[in-house]
Amino acid sequence: MSRVHFTAIFRHATAPNTQHPTPMHFAILTHDHPFLHWDLLLEAGPMCRTWRLQTSPEHDGLIFAEAIPDHRLLYLDYEGPVSGDRGSVSRWDGGHLVWLTATESNVEILVCGTRWQGRVSLRRDVNSPQWMLQR
């Protein structure tokens, strides 16, 4: 999908569970604490829904993901040390997103970043805490 087509879609993007057009953003941060992993942040209103990716986001197959507490919006643009002696983060990718589906066990978005472009899905069995990411 071309950037021009994404731009047209983003003009009509909405936050989950709203009817009001809102530009939304995503970021993938490399985080070195407590072990090397990547945090996927999806803007959702006043916070970011966040998952810890166990495998590099460069991986083309399924990626195990763990839902972690929502993050503040400032982390969409932040790089540097994390408070509380929790390591540091650096931006791996980021850009715009369009929410397609957002439920307790299924999230589907369109992203337009520098490295990631296209459809991304996160799914889990409702009885399992383990999420699987596919792009």
**23 half-sphere exposure, CB direction, 13 A CA radius:** 7
Domains: count for the chain: 1
Region 116-135: mean pLDDT is 94
**pLDDT tens for residues 51-87?**
999 999 999 889 999 999 999 999 999 999 999 999 9
Dist CA 32 CA 81 (whole Å)? 10
Greater confidence (61 vs 93) lies with 93
User: Is residue 6 a contact partner of residue 96, using CB atoms and an 8 Å limit?
Assistant: yes
Provide the domain limits for residue 104.
3-134
- Token couple for 73: 């919006």
**Confidence band (pLDDT; 50, 70, 90) for 20?**
very low
Q: Is 106 exposed, middle or buried (0-12, 13-18, 19+ CB in 10 A)?
A: middle
At residue 60, the pLDDT reads 85
